[in-house]
Structure 1
Amino acid sequence: MTETAKPWTQPMPEAQFARMREILAAPSPVGLEGAMTYGVLKPYLESFAPQGWHIHQFLGHAGIVLDTHPGQDEMFTAMVVGHADKIRLQVRSIGEDGKVWVDSDSFLPGTLIGHEVVLFSEDPESPGQYRRLEGGTVEALGAIHFAEEAVRRGDKGVKKEQLYLELQIHGEEKKKQVEALGIRPGDPILLDRPIRRGFSPDTFYGAYLDNGLGCFVTAEAARLVAEAGGPRNIRLLFAMASYEEIGRFGSRVFAGELEPDALIAVDVNQDYAAAPGVSDKRFQPLAMGEGFTFSCGAIASEQLNAVIQRVAGEQGIPFQRDVAGRDTGTDGMAGVLASVDCAAASIGMPIRNMHTISEAGHTGDVLAATHAVAATLQDLDGRDDGTGRLREALRDGHPRLDQAEGLSHQCSR
């Protein structure tokens, strides 16, 4: 493959960008992920899956798993996981003046002010059916004229308890007007901002890159593997999980049910190099546009990381080394949380402004992650002959620091 032919060095094709936009736009708040998994991802996976591949569905949540060898539990099994759930606001209560008070979930309150949202109201007459309400904005202070002086100066911020949805309700009995719409506590609210291409080359921005991007990469890696003929010796599971934002519950169900031998989580990561006010914290300077990331530490398997690094290096796919500490913060923890013995890895794509309406990413990083995942899976497939050889290699191949070679100063002259 020539340098100019490498997809991660080129602009993402418009058809592929449109597919990414469709996945990220699907309204899939925590607990209601079916719009992304069933509405967008399942039909796409079915469009290229060879005969014999199977999509698993589940009772307790709307996660899905594309399985290349259903029922063949004796095969070495590798799972790739993105998560479809989005953080959301929720209706908390309705005020007498028509204000719809909301919980901010995992958003910074100040990042929400003035943004348009969509409220999904469950029909009280038909539980389980939802209506879509547009035209509202998130507010907290109303106008600068009503804010205390410390807030005007910027010395004091907005508290989450101040957030409300402005529906422009007026007239008599404002609370009853809202209640007549069927709006009730618990109804989810999503930011209304689809992604679009950014100002700088190969960039894009919008809401909910976290973590429709992981699902997009997982689906695109599945397509690449299918187009290459599919795995011959190992079983692959391409998973779109739920509940990650509240504790990685969906992915641990996947791991518990399907018991993979290896698990690769795909999620967004931070662009620490551009993050405001963090330079003195000495984070690893991960940067948007410099390739995908892989985590070291926590439960990350050094053996699986070695494969990812080697394969990426052989194909010229740019990557960055991240530090996980005691928790990857991603679905990479699914196996150990489900008490399943598997080699785990966590890869990501650096983005800016995470958990805001203006998250920003680089298509080159997304394509680098996609091709790195596909190449890693194909490499694992090539290392197994169907006899358990790869499982044995992982069991016996753990690095031994007592066998580490001595290292002396490398003269720069």
Structure 2
Amino acid sequence: MPKAKPWLQPMPDDQFEIMRDIIKAPSPVGLESAMTLGVLKPYFDSFMPDSWAMHQFVGNAGVVWDSHPGEDERFSVMLVGHADKIRMQVRKIGSDGKIYINSDSFLPCTLLGHEVTVFSENPDTPGEYRSLTGGTIEAMGAIHFSDPAQRTGDKGIRPNSLYLDLQIHGENKADQIKRLGLQPGDPILLNRPIKRGFSPDTFYGAYLDNGLGCFVTAEVARLVAEAGGTKKIRVLYAIASHEEIGRFGSRVIAGEMAPDVLIAIDVNHDYVAAPGIGDRNMQPLEMGKGFTLTTGAIVSEQLNARIKKAAAKEGIPVQIDVSGRDTGTDGMASVLASVDSAATSVGFPTRNMHTISESGHTGDVLAAIHALKATLLAMDKEKNLDQAFRTSHPRLDQTETISHQGFEKLEKKKTK
């Protein structure tokens, strides 16, 4: 009896719990070590061979697990997820006890009423952090006090009207806040760990972007290690920082490690389900239909061809995404660091990105994991990879002419 394909099965509970723990790690931009060292390091330690090593960096909390440390002449492939999460920040403490905040990359109206955690540096011990829960993000208070245009939807929520409400009351409200030691710049994260969704094989919660890419990176590493590792290629399993503010962490890592191949792993959009974008004619990416593979921008098509072949051989579904000038992911890291790498970006369609209710499909995540594992193991069997990549750039002056292919209706391929 053939072995069941993981991407067509429900994700096992123990694997789901690992995914949840990685995603829920408090790792706002610039403070990513809770995920990289607090969650991912113990997980890698549980399965990686003794010959692997972990690299750390001076200016950021990114990490790289290296299958062949010190072997700089060996052909190298880097997988990159980013640990940083978009966050809100304390901006101003009002005299009435309201803590006005910056909304960062959140749409302001999506934040109202949600519970959060504030992470605050101890003013008496710089470098030491405390946390505070029990507050919610507000802007208008009760509907009774809102502008009539807000009731009809003609007027939205201004970012500078958002505040953290800690239910402060009584005398000296501002002093009550200041006594807590909260300061401008303190990061704030939404409280919403992922849960399994109502529909089969779905899940939802905050910060799939991009704990999900970090989970995939770790799972690929585990499966490759369990398969005996790679003999020819050096694999660099990287978890970057600062992606949400410009891909700064990954470009530093790429500059330091100079990989020959770089594959970013990040969330993508379910354009089929996205409301109100029908007239934009977006590529119909959809949850539950497989992982996504980017084309366009700086993507190296000879790398994409290898991923497609590996996925096809295993029967893993893949959806092609189209980028313009920029992949929008850490797939740009090498070119931004002026490093010569073949590059692409792998993802999974998600809904409601940058909200408290992002959702995804475990089958798409598992498809990405197993496609990347298959790609690495297939590349490890190739001869002279460096030369192969240099000489396999597609030649459009050597094309086959296409003729009309008939009028019959195409039959849809069935997933086995």
TM range (shorter): over 0.9
The amino acid of 1:407's aligned partner reads: I
**Aligned residue among 377, 401, 409 for 1:406:** 401
1:405 Cα deviation after fit:
1.2
The amino acid of 2:388's aligned partner reads: A
Q: Report what 1:128 is aligned to.
A: 127
CA distance, structure 2, for counterparts of residue 159 and residue 408 of structure 1: 55
Q: Does residue 394 in structure 1 map to residue 394 in structure 2?
A: no
Q: Report what 1:316 is aligned to.
A: 315
CA distance, structure 2, for counterparts of residue 122 and residue 168 of structure 1: 22
Q: Report what 1:102 is aligned to.
A: 101
1:404 Cα deviation after fit:
1.1
- Provide, for residues 357-376 of structure 1, a one-character-per-residue CA deviation record: whole Å limited to 9, x for no partner: 00000000000000111111
1:305 Cα deviation after fit:
0.3
CA distance, structure 1, for counterparts of residue 233 and residue 119 of structure 2: 42
Secondary structure (helix, strand or coil) at the match of 1:189 reads strand
- Provide, for residues 47-67 of structure 1, a one-character-per-residue CA deviation record: whole Å limited to 9, x for no partner: 111111000011111111000
- Provide, for residues 341-360 of structure 1, a one-character-per-residue CA deviation record: whole Å limited to 9, x for no partner: 01001010100000000000
CA distance, structure 2, for counterparts of residue 209 and residue 44 of structure 1: 19
CA distance, structure 2, for counterparts of residue 397 and residue 370 of structure 1: 25
Q: Answer with 150-159 or 216-225: which moved more.
A: 150-159
4+ long deviations beyond 4 Å = none
The amino acid of 1:314's aligned partner reads: K
The amino acid of 2:391's aligned partner reads: D
Secondary structure (helix, strand or coil) at the match of 1:402 reads coil
Q: Report what 2:347 is aligned to.
A: 348
The amino acid of 1:265's aligned partner reads: A
CA distance, structure 2, for counterparts of residue 345 and residue 356 of structure 1: 26
Secondary structure (helix, strand or coil) at the match of 1:382 reads coil
- Provide, for residues 288-320 of structure 1, a one-character-per-residue CA deviation record: whole Å limited to 9, x for no partner: 110000000001110000001111011010110
Q: Does residue 194 in structure 1 map to residue 193 in structure 2?
A: yes
CA distance, structure 1, for counterparts of residue 10 and residue 235 of structure 2: 29
The amino acid of 1:237's aligned partner reads: L
Q: TM-score, normalised by structure 1?
A: 0.98
Q: Does residue 62 in structure 1 map to residue 61 in structure 2?
A: yes
Q: TM-score, normalised by structure 2?
A: 0.97
Q: Report what 1:118 is aligned to.
A: 117
CA distance, structure 1, for counterparts of residue 95 and residue 37 of structure 2: 39
1:323 Cα deviation after fit:
0.2
Q: Report what 2:212 is aligned to.
A: 213
Q: Report what 2:244 is aligned to.
A: 245
Q: Does residue 361 in structure 1 map to residue 360 in structure 2?
A: yes
CA distance, structure 1, for counterparts of residue 20 and residue 234 of structure 2: 29
- Which structure 2 residue ranges, 5 or more long, are not aligned? 409-416
The correspondence of residues 152-171 of structure 1 with structure 2, limited to 5 A, is 152-171=151-170
Q: Does residue 78 in structure 1 map to residue 77 in structure 2?
A: yes
Q: Report what 1:376 is aligned to.
A: 375
Q: Does residue 172 in structure 1 map to residue 171 in structure 2?
A: yes
The amino acid of 1:392's aligned partner reads: Q
Alignment RMSD? 0.8
Q: Report what 1:144 is aligned to.
A: 143
The correspondence of residues 231-380 of structure 1 with structure 2, limited to 5 A, is 231-380=230-379
Aligned residues: 408
Q: Report what 2:229 is aligned to.
A: 230
The amino acid of 1:400's aligned partner reads: R
1:412 Cα deviation after fit:
2.5
Secondary structure (helix, strand or coil) at the match of 1:226 reads helix
The amino acid of 2:169's aligned partner reads: H
CA distance, structure 2, for counterparts of residue 347 and residue 52 of structure 1: 28
The amino acid of 1:334's aligned partner reads: A
Secondary structure (helix, strand or coil) at the match of 2:266 reads strand
CA distance, structure 1, for counterparts of residue 129 and residue 135 of structure 2: 17
CA distance, structure 2, for counterparts of residue 328 and residue 153 of structure 1: 37
CA distance, structure 2, for counterparts of residue 25 and residue 361 of structure 1: 15
CA distance, structure 2, for counterparts of residue 183 and residue 257 of structure 1: 36
Percent of aligned pairs with the same amino acid = 67
The amino acid of 2:7's aligned partner reads: W
- Which structure 1 residue ranges, 5 or more long, are not aligned? none
1:46 Cα deviation after fit:
1.2
CA distance, structure 1, for counterparts of residue 214 and residue 297 of structure 2: 23
1:396 Cα deviation after fit:
1.0
The amino acid of 1:396's aligned partner reads: T
The amino acid of 2:72's aligned partner reads: D
1:397 Cα deviation after fit:
1.0
1:173 Cα deviation after fit:
1.0
- Provide, for residues 115-139 of structure 1, a one-character-per-residue CA deviation record: whole Å limited to 9, x for no partner: 0000011100011111110000000
1:154 Cα deviation after fit:
1.0
Secondary structure (helix, strand or coil) at the match of 2:64 reads strand
